[in-house]
């Protein structure tokens, strides 16, 4: 898999979301070794929730 941002090599990695109020959450996503871009549906969803939370 190639990074959509820099076309670098991407690997599957395990992430830990410490900002979630429910506790530690582990999930798997895809991370770019070159620029650090992370692709994961959960991250995108959380970003959207936080963005909406600030608006309201």
Contacting residues toward Zn ion, per CB under 5 A:
3, 5-6, 8, 32, 34-35, 37
Query: 8 or 46, CB closer to Zn ion?
Result: 8
Could you tell me if 32 and 9 are in contact, meaning their C-beta atoms sit under 8 angstroms apart? yes
Shortest Å distance, C-beta 40 to Zn ion = 14
Shortest Å distance, C-beta 53 to Zn ion = 28
Query: 17 or 37, CB closer to Zn ion?
Result: 37
Bridge partners (DSSP) listed for residue 39: 30
Torsional sign, CA 29, 30, 33, 34:
negative
In the numeric block, which tokens belong to residue 7?
A: 């076309």
């Amino acid at each position: 898999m190639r990074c959509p941002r820099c076309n670098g090599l991407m690997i599957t990695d395990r992430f830990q979301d410490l900002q979630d109020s429910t506790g530690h959450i582990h999930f798997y996503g895809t991370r770019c070794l070159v620029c650090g871009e992370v692709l994961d549906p959960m991250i995108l969803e959380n970003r959207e929730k936080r963005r909406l939370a600030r608006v309201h």
